[in-house]
Amino acid sequence: DSGVTQTPKHLITATGQRVTLRCSPRSGDLSVYWYQQSLDQGLQFLIQYYNGEERAKGNILERFSAQQFPDLHSELNLSSLELGDSALYFCASSVETGYGYTFGSGTRLTVV
Amino acid sequence: AQSVTQLDSQVPVFEEAPVELRCNYSSSVSVYLFWYVQYPNQGLQLLLKYLSGSTLVKGINGFEAEFNKSQTSFHLRKPSVHISDTAEYFCAVSDTHLFFGTGTRLTVIP
């Protein structure tokens, strides 16, 4: 157990639908990062939150959004889902960027 | 801008043989470098990291890596691999967030 909790572990949904992925960071970590892992794109950084505020944005589609709540858990919202959104979505947390991240076990999203 | 290149997408190696997984980076600022391992159907686990100081970094599971500034490399090595080392290995460099390489699939052959 890494200390970073992601739910659900698996999600199957239809095209056009909306889903929410949840992440609880490791105790004491203020930063949360979301990554998408797919076979053709590899590990792509989506977005970072630090203590409730958006800190950095990567290759995140406009159909995707995220937020970090006062208790520091984070949610990634994916809407108008397409087949190409099928991927593993990882959450990671850290105290500071330069010291490495602790990853959760991921949510496997399948869009059918 | 930061970037990482993992030169080998797949590396097969016999059990108990040594292995080197190659990683080159580009960075315009001070560098923090990492190696992560991903076992099948699992998340990424930190193997080792270079922040500063000694250029030879030792990590978990007998792995080590050497930071070479002149060659902008951070290659991962293990003197004797086990079947259980079969996994995907990712090199990463930090900026505002971690930039990952495309990964190297290490397959240990019995």
pLDDT in tens, B56-78: 999 999 999 999 999 999 999 99
Predicted pLDDT of residue A100? 79
Percent of chain B with pLDDT over 70: 97
**How is residue B109 written in tokens?**
């052959």
Amino acid at B74: F
Predicted pLDDT of residue B96? 77
pLDDT of residue A17 exceeding 70: yes
A110 to chain B, closest Cα gap in Å: 14
Average pLDDT, chain A: 93
Predicted pLDDT of residue B52? 85
Of B44, B97, B103, the CB nearest to A45: B97
pLDDT of residue A74 exceeding 90: yes
Predicted pLDDT of residue B3? 87
CA distance A3 to A81: 29
Residues A89, A109: contact at Cβ < 8 Å? yes
* One-character DSSP codes across B30-70: ---EEEEEE-TTS-EEEEEEE-SS-SEEE-GGG-EEEEETT
Predicted pLDDT of residue B28? 67
Task: Pick the more confident residue, B23 or B2.
Answer: B23
Mean pLDDT over residues B38-43, rounded? 89
- Cα–Cα–Cα angle for B46, B51, B57, rounded to 5 degrees: 65
Predicted pLDDT of residue B86? 97
pLDDT of residue A97 exceeding 70: no
What contacts B26, CB < 8 A, 6 or more positions away?
Answer: B1, B2, B3, B4, B72
B94 to chain A, closest Cα gap in Å: 6
Predicted pLDDT of residue B67? 94
pLDDT of residue A4 exceeding 70: yes
Nearest CA in chain B to A94: B97
Pairwise CB contact (< 8 Å): B43 & A98: no
Question: Which of 2-31 (B) contact A at CB < 8 A?
Answer: none
Percent of chain B with pLDDT over 90: 75
Of A58, A98, A105, the CB nearest to B94: A98
Q: Is A17 on the interface with B (CB under 8 A)?
A: no
